[in-house]
Amino acid sequence: GNLWGYGKEDGPSVWHKNYPVAQGDRQSPIDIVPHQASHDPSLGPVVLNYDQCTSIKIANNGHSVVVEFDDSDDRSVIRGGPLDNPYRLKQFHFHWGVKGCHGSEHTVAGNSYASELHLVHWNAVKYTTFGEAATAPDGLAVLGIFLQTGDDHRWLNMITDALYTVKFKGSAADFKGFNPKCLLPSSLHYWTYLGSLTTPPLHESVIWIVVKDPITVSEKQLGKLRTLLFTGEEEDQRTRMENNFRPPQLLKGRNVLWSFR
Ligand SMILES: COCCCN1C=C(N)c2cc(S(N)(=O)=O)sc2S1(=O)=O
Ligand SMILES: [Zn+2]
């Protein structure tokens, strides 16, 4: 059986039973209230060096679809902004709803987007392994990108066309040469705050960098994400992968900073 999920019996409202940190002081996601955020003039731009970036494989981990990268060197890093070191790209994945306007994890003044892309990076300067970084207070940096519905996103098709290869939980396939730079909006103005993984084990190890401007994808492309299954090939009960997002958590006195003018 699965330890946790997004259903009524195993969803976000009961995660605290197996993962007490779910009720901690720096949980994610949050509702970002722009006029309550503070401008920090010392916050510079976020810089992505994804040029040598190459994906390795695509996988269905039973909670989302994940594209994994070779993080054995500093070929794909994020730096600047709130970060004191370069952080290495490890994987990216998505969260989405069942239709239209719900599906993102972070919200902005109470408004949800249809989906949210998370690019997960780790601090390989201070920590030796990803696992060690994933439990350290400054171990991970996740870049969050909102997805709104509209026209087809030309490059997202490379991912949605590969989803049939990872329909079932536990499936994986080669997925080489994809550079996620093509999934970013033109402006990287962002909000930043100290938070956590938004799925169990919910470690409070993430410096969140949430980009203000969304990218646009089509309802058809989002629909392809929903053809994935939470369940494995061997299970007779097929459950469509949808609404795999955690709702906003209490801010508990944290400061949200913003960079843009
Ligand atoms: C040993 O590592 C512990 C597991 C860490 N990871 C598992 C997640 N559930 C997870 C969630 C993430 S999210 N939704 O906050 O970006 S990133 C991420 S992850 O960094 O890939
Ligand atoms: Zn995520």
Q: Residue 106: is its pLDDT beyond 60?
A: yes
* Among 88, 85, 80, 86, CA closest to 122: 88
Please give the Cα distance from 104 to 27 (Å, whole number).
16
- Please tell me the predicted confidence (pLDDT) of residue 109: 98
Q: Residue 261: is its pLDDT beyond 90?
A: no
pLDDT (tens digit per residue) in 145-165: 999 999 999 999 999 999 999
> Which ligand 1 atom is nearest residue 134's CA?
2
pLDDT (tens digit per residue) in 40-83: 989 999 999 998 888 999 999 999 999 999 999 999 999 999 99
Instruction: Give me the DSSP letters along 112-168.
Output: --SEEEEEEEE-TTT-SSHHHHTTSTTSEEEEEEEEEESSPPTTHHHHHTTGGGG-S
3-state secondary structure of 77: strand
Q: What is the mean pLDDT of residues 90-97?
A: 98
pLDDT (tens digit per residue) in 139-150: 999 999 999 999
Across 134-156, b (16+ Cβ under 10 Å) vs e yields: beeebbbbbbbbbbebeeebeeb
Q: Which of 69, 197, 206 to mutate to test the pocket of ligand 1 (most atoms within 8 A of CB)?
A: 197
Please give the Cα distance from 7 to 124 (Å, whole number).
35
27 or 100: whose pLDDT is higher? 27
pTM given for the model: 0.98
How much is the mean pLDDT over the chain?
A: 96
ipTM for the predicted complex: 0.94
> Which ligand 1 atom is nearest residue 206's CA?
15
Strand partners, 120: 91, 142
Instruction: Give yes or no: 63 in active site.
Output: yes
| Cβ of 198 below 6 Å from ligand 1 | yes
- Please tell me the predicted confidence (pLDDT) of residue 99: 83
Q: How confident is the model at residue 1 (pLDDT cuts 50, 70, 90)?
A: low
Taking the CA atoms of 56, 62, 65 and 69 in sequence, report the sign of the dihedral they define: negative
Strand partners, 215: 147
Q: What is the mean pLDDT of residues 175-203?
A: 97
